[in-house]
Amino acid sequence: MTKNRRQFLQYMVTGTAGSVAIGWLFPAASQSENVDLEKLCSSFPHNSQCENYLPGVRAADSEGKPIEVSEFLADAKAGIPVLVKGLPKVAYLVINEGPKIAEYGINPVCTHLGCTVEWKAERSRFECPCHGSQFDSQGQVTKGPAKRSLPLVTVVVQAKSNPFGGKKTCDRSARKN
């Protein structure tokens, strides 16, 4: 055997033995940790581990009653966000054509200084009462001083066969402009 080949084999054997030794000495590092599904599915709702997991809380109407999708959509109009309770406080559900509930909702916290924005139906936009920022029906900035869009929340419509029924919402990271 040539010297280069011998050195190569020595490096390979040493590296393999070292890897096995490290795996044996630190077994916790080589085993997968329990995944926090709430955190994972809130950030990445379409991840395959989240198929049957519905994080968050059930959405409720202004009186605190759980929302039933069929009744809710009977009164909803496309393009008009609807205020619901659910997250730490409230969120707006986005209604698409159909009518159908979008996979995201809008968190009504202004990205400028944290004031609560309000939907102004007569102007078809969200307005911040503190400093005048304006956002369209999708939460995008149309007038500053806010520079970032309103944060989004994930919305998951559950099947009727699910014992929880209705609708749930959970946090989702804010989209970028």
Segment 38-56, tens digit of pLDDT: 666 666 666 666 655 555 6
Q: Domain of residue 51: give its range.
A: 40-154
139 part of a folded domain:
yes
Using pLDDT thresholds of 50, 70 and 90, give the confidence band for residue 89. low
72 part of a folded domain:
yes
Backbone angles phi, psi at 139, to 5 degrees: 90, 5
Query: Contact 119/101 with Cβ under 8 angstroms?
Result: no
Of 163 and 75, more confident: 75
17 part of a folded domain:
no
* Residue carrying the six token digits 């809380």: 57
Range with the largest mean pLDDT of 53-67, 79-93, 145-159: 145-159
Helix, strand and coil content of the chain, in percent to the nearest 5, comes to 25, 25, 50
CATH number at residue 48: 2.102.10.10
- State percent of the chain over pLDDT 90: 4
Of 103 and 136, more confident: 136
Please state the domain count of the chain.
Answer: 1
Report pTM: 0.56
